Amino acid sequence: MSRVVYVTGAASGNGLSIANRFLRSGDKVVAVDVDGDGLGRCQDEDWKEYSDQIVLHTGDVTLEEDVDASIAAGRKAFGQIDILVNNAGITGNEQASTVHETPVAEFDRVMAVNVRSIFLICRAALPEMIERGSGVIVNIASVAGMVAFPGRAAYTASKGAVIQLTRALTADYARHGIRAVALCPGMIETPMTKWRLDQPDLRQAIVDRIPQREIGSAEDVADAVFYFAGPEARYFNGAALAMDGGYVSI
């Protein structure tokens, strides 16, 4: 039976691959992104043949009213939301580096996009999931939630918070038939990482640090999300799962 999957940051990188993965399997997708032009491009290039299965919503996931409107749009189109994939995220601008160099406003922005958004989305979606007695929440954290990224204090703190928020969801809602999982990707080739991976020396240094000696793809992330959202993963609840070619193992 097809499921309704709410995906944030769906216009680019991991979010686009995640949306595509569920669409290909016959599921329905509520695609949310602040980048309306990006969503339009995906509609023309990737989602043309899935027009019956997808609803697009342009909105900022840090804003309560936008989040509530996107959840309402999903319910209006498809009746209910079965799976939340909280994927939208940012690393912050160049100034978002060490603690004493990060502007306060940029710290707040990173925390809002990466953490507050998940709180708002879950807050809006959970009452209906509780009533139904089922639901799955996949939060896209990062290995930066497990080990610190030097010079990326706000991002590191935000992804640690995503892992703990996931555990809080499990602690409070597992008894309602709801599962939450934090997926923690390592280095994945997407528009977010392009500027670094496009520099051959930097790319090599990154690859050398990964035991498996390869960069992951957005399709790897999408396949993992698909699995953890599905019935075969029924006993995963509250877990923070690294998918990183071994990055955090050494």
Ligand X SMILES: NC(=O)c1ccc[n+]([C@@H]2O[C@H](COP(=O)([O-])OP(=O)(O)OC[C@H]3O[C@@H](n4cnc5c(N)ncnc54)[C@H](O)[C@@H]3O)[C@@H](O)[C@H]2O)c1
- Let me know if 155 is a catalytic residue: yes
Stretch that binds ligand X, among 47-55, 57-65, 206-214, 225-233 (CB under 6 A): 57-65
Does position 118 interact with ligand X (CB under 6 A)? The reply is no
Identified binder of ligand X from the candidate list 4, 5, 7, 15, rule CB under 6 A: 15
Tell me, residue by residue from 128 to 147, as one string, x for binding to ligand X by CB under 6 A and - for no binding: ------------x-x-----
The Cα–Cα gap between 217 and 141 comes to 16
- Contact between residue 123 and residue 76 where contact means Cβ atoms under 8 Å apart: no
Does position 42 interact with ligand X (CB under 6 A)? The reply is no
DSSP, collapsed to helix, strand or coil, labels residue 139 as strand
- Contact between residue 126 and residue 172 where contact means Cβ atoms under 8 Å apart: no
Stretch that binds ligand X, among 41-49, 169-177, 185-193, 225-233 (CB under 6 A): 185-193
Does position 106 interact with ligand X (CB under 6 A)? The reply is no
DSSP 187: S
The Cα–Cα gap between 37 and 77 comes to 21
Min CB(13)–ligand X separation in Å: 2
Does position 237 interact with ligand X (CB under 6 A)? The reply is no
Stretch that binds ligand X, among 20-28, 33-41, 128-136, 222-230 (CB under 6 A): 33-41
Does position 122 interact with ligand X (CB under 6 A)? The reply is no
Does position 230 interact with ligand X (CB under 6 A)? The reply is no
Identified binder of ligand X from the candidate list 33, 46, 82, 106, rule CB under 6 A: 33
b/e sequence 58-75, b meaning 16+ C-beta within 10 Å: bbbbbeeebbbbbbebbb
Does position 188 interact with ligand X (CB under 6 A)? The reply is yes
**Which member of 6, 50, 155, 247 is catalytic?**
155
Does position 103 interact with ligand X (CB under 6 A)? The reply is no
CA distances from 100 to 96, 97, 111, 226 (A): 10, 8, 16, 39
Q: Which residues contact 185 (CB under 8 A, 6 or more apart)?
A: 14, 140, 142, 143, 216, 220, 221, 224, 243, 244
Residues binding ligand X (CB under 6 A): 8-9, 11-15, 33-35, 38, 60-62, 87-90, 113, 140, 142, 185, 187-188, 190-193
The residues assigned a catalytic role are 155
